[in-house]
Amino acid sequence: ETGVTQTPRHLVMGMTNKKSLKCEQHLGHNAMYWYKQSAKKPLELMFVYNFKEQTENNSVPSRFSPECPNSSHLFLHLHTLQPEDSALYLCASSQGLGAGGTQYFGPGTRLTVT
Amino acid sequence: AQKITQTQPGMFVQEKEAVTLDCTYDTSDQSYGLFWYKQPSSGEMIFLIYQGSYDEQNATEGRYSLNFQKARKSANLVISASQLGDSAMYFCAMRPNYGGSQGNLIFGKGTKLSVKP
């Protein structure tokens, strides 16, 4: 049973659409993350939030816009995406940003951009 | 540069046997954490085991153990008594301490484990 949920699980969108991915954690953590997992590539960290403040933007294009209204919720707003943005998007949370802060992941949203 | 290397793209193991998945890492940090995750075909990344760089004993969690050799910078995962449900992708990851790099989790490319009945 996961303490991190993500919706939707699958999403197909056109390049001109606007959609949002939602992540919620029920673990009482204060840090949340977005990762992108493309085929044949290692997981790529996109954004990090700690106590609702963004602490990391890993050179992500502006067509991806994160939002963290509180420590339990994280959104990824999508607009004008490209086909190469098709991937599995994983959300994670942890208690703090230190070396021992285990990140727990949600089930992911599989995004297809047509 | 901080990096995780998993040299085995795919591995096969017979059910009930043990298997070792290799992981080497590169970092100049003194304090860091090492993690293994399992990713079934459903996509969820499942945390398996953690080893701190200052931990003197190898971590164990049920059938999982981490063979930590600090001088060699290796953190191999050992799965004992393999089960069919162990078939999945396995990722090794490293997390430097916050002071260095915002707590990023750096992943290897993964090893696909297939358990044969």
Phi, psi values for residue A83, rounded to 5° = -55, -30
Say what the pLDDT of residue B28 is: 87
Q: What is the mean pLDDT of chain A?
A: 92
pLDDT, residue B102, reads 55
CA dihedral A25, A23, A30, B110 (to 10 degrees): 90
In this prediction, residues B88-96 reach a mean pLDDT of 93
Flag whether residue A92 sits within 8 Å of chain B, measured between CB atoms. Answer: yes
Of B106 and B78, more confident: B78
Q: Running DSSP on this structure, what letter comes out for residue B17?
A: S
C-alpha distance from A69 to closest chain B C-alpha (Å): 20
By percentage, how much of chain B surpasses pLDDT 90?
A: 79
B50-70 confidence digits (pLDDT tens): 999 999 899 999 999 999 999
Residue B99 in this model has a pLDDT that exceeds 70? no
Say how far apart CA B69 and CA A62 lie, in whole Å. Answer: 41
Q: At CA B87, angle to CA B86 and CA B89, rounded to 5?
A: 105
B52/A100 CB distance under 8 A: yes
Residue A93: what residue type? S
Say what the pLDDT of residue B100 is.
47
CA distance A51 to A26: 15
pLDDT band, very low/low/confident/very high, at A2 (cuts 50, 70, 90):
low
What does the H/E/C string look like for B49-108? EEEECCCCCCCEECCEEEEEECCCCEEEEEECCCCHHHCEEEEEEEEECHHHHCCCCEEC
Q: List, in sequence order, every beta strand (DSSP E) within chain A.
A: 4-7, 10-13, 18-25, 31-37, 44-50, 53-57, 64-70, 73-79, 87-94, 104-105, 109-113
A48 pLDDT more than 80: yes
Which residue on chain A is closest to B6 by alpha carbon? A42
Taking the C-alpha atoms of residue B117 and residue A100, their distance in angstroms, rounded to an integer, is: 36
Q: Above 70 in pLDDT, residue A1? A: no
- Choice among A63-67, A89-93, B54-58, B93-97 with the minimum mean pLDDT: B93-97
Provide the chain A residues 35-74 that lie in CB contact (below 8 A) with chain B: 41-43, 45, 48, 50, 55-56
- Beta B10-14 vs B111-116: how paired, if at all? parallel
Are residues B104 and A98 in contact, defined by beta-carbon separation less than 8 angstroms?
no
Q: Does B34 score more than 50 pLDDT?
A: yes
What is the structure's pLDDT at B9?
A: 94
Q: What pLDDT score does A84 carry?
A: 93
Two tokens, residue A49 = 């939030």
Q: Among partner residues B32, B43, B53, which is closest to A110 by beta-carbon distance?
A: B43
